[in-house]
Amino acid sequence: MQGPAVFMDISLEDQAQELRKYFKSLGAEISEEKSPKGVEDDLHKIVGVCDVCFKESNEADIEAILNSIVSIMVSIPLERGENLIVAFSQRLAKAPGPKLGLVALQSFWRLYNNLEPNSPLRYHVYYHVIELAARVGAVKNVFTGVEQLRKEFASCPPSNEQMQKLYRLLHQVLKDQNSELASKVMIELLGTYTDENASYAREDAIKCIVTALADPNTFLLDPLLSLKPVRFLEGELIYDLLTIFVSEKLSSYQSFYENHKEFVQSQGLNHEQNVKKMRILSFMQMAESNPEITFDEMISELQIEEKNVEAFIIEVLKTRLVRARMDQAQRTVRVTSTMHRTFGRAQWQQLRSVLLAWRANVNQVHESMKSVAAAQLEYNAQQQKA
C-alpha cells in the first residue's frame, strides 16, 4: 500500500489524480483515471470515498490527505458546492474516535476559513462544522456567541430560513452543555420571526421558555414576553408558567404545580429546581420594596425552614442579583440593591427620579464649590492688599 502523496507544484488536475491513486491503493471503489468532465467531477468522486483514509495509522498522514482535498475545494468554482459540502461532512463524520474526529473537524474548519468572506458556501460549511464539532465535544472552539456569529456572515448574510435552521442546531447542541448560551441562541431565533409568521414558531417559542426556566443562571425572564412568537402562546399553560417566573411569587408557582404536575413534568422541568429558582426570584421581589427583611418574613414567604435561612441568603448573594448584609443577631437582612425582575414604566420612572436627584446633588455641589472658590479669591485679594 502506497503512502500518502505529497502535492507540491502540480496542477489541480494532477493533484486530483494522485488522490484517486492514493484512495484506490487503500481499497476504495474509485478509478485512477481523471474524469473527462473535469476536476470538479474528480473532486466529487474523491469526496465520496475520502473516509477510507481513516484506515491510516498516522494522524498526520490523514490530516495531509484531507487538507489536500480542501485545497482543491477552495481553488475551483463549485457549481454543486452545497451537495459536495454535505457529502464531505458526512464522510468526515465517520472518523472513528475523538482524536480522528478532531482531525476531521480541523480540516473542515480550515475549509471554512479559506472560503472567500462573500461566498454563500460559508453558511453550509459552518452548519456542518457545528455538527462535526458537536460529535467530538468541541462546539466551544468554533462558536462563542451570537455576536461572533453575526460577524461571521456580515459579508454574505444567509437567508432568514437558513439562520433559523442554524439557530435550532446550535440550541440543540448547546442546551446540555451551556444552557445560558443556548437560551441566548433561542432568543435570537425567535427574533427572526415577524408578526406575519410568528404563529409558525410555536415549538421554538416553547423550547425558548423551557430552556430559560431550566437554566439555573437565568433570572431576568421579562424580555421573553416581548418576543412575538412567545406572545402567540398567551392563554396556554406554558405562557402562564412563564408569567409566574417573570413577576409572581413562590406561592403562585406552588398552586400552578399542584394543578398541573403532569404538564410541568412533560416539559422536562424539575420541580425542585423550579422551587429553588422561584425562592430567589421571590426574595428579589421582596428586596425591591423592603430594605430590611426579617428571617421570619423569609420563612413565611419563601417556605424555608429556619435552619436553612442563612444558607439560602448566602446562595442569593452568590448570584450577585442582590447586594445585602446579613445580621444573624437581629435575624434580618439589610438590602443595599437588587436587580428588578421586571423593568417597565414604574422602573423607568424610578430611575428618572434617581437621576434627577443625582443631578440636583451635583448642581448643589457645583454651586457650593463656586462659593468656596469665590471666598478663596476674595481672601487672596485681601491678603495682597495687606
% of residues, the chain, pLDDT over 90: 47
pLDDT tens by residue, 174-185: 988 888 888 889
pLDDT in tens, 317-350: 998 889 999 999 999 999 998 888 765 555 545 5
What letter would DSSP give residue 215?
A: -
Residue 5's pLDDT band, with cuts at 50, 70 and 90, is very low
pLDDT: is 260 or 223 the higher one? 260
Name 325's bridge partners: 334
Q: Give residue-wise pLDDT tens across range 57-113.
A: 788 989 999 999 998 888 877 666 778 888 888 888 888 888 899 999 999 999 899
pLDDT one-digit tens code per residue, 29-49: 999 898 888 888 888 999 999
The average confidence (pLDDT) of the chain is 86
Strand, coil or helix: what is 271?
A: helix
What cell numbers appear for 95 in the block?
472518523
Rounded to whole angstroms, the Cα distance separating 304 from 297 reads 10
CA atoms within 13 A on the CB side of 121: 21
By C-alpha distance, which of 245, 247, 272 is closest to 261?
272
Residues 6, 14 contacting (CB under 8 angstroms): no
pLDDT at 370: 78
* Structural contact between residues 61 and 100, judged by C-beta atoms closer than 8 angstroms: no
Question: Longest Cα pair distance anywhere in the chain, in angstroms?
Answer: 110
Q: How confident is the model at residue 272 (pLDDT cuts 50, 70, 90)?
A: very high
Does pTM top 0.75 for this prediction? no
365: confidence class by pLDDT, cuts 50, 70, 90 = confident
Decide if pLDDT at 158 tops 50: yes
16-26 tens-digit pLDDT: 899 999 999 98
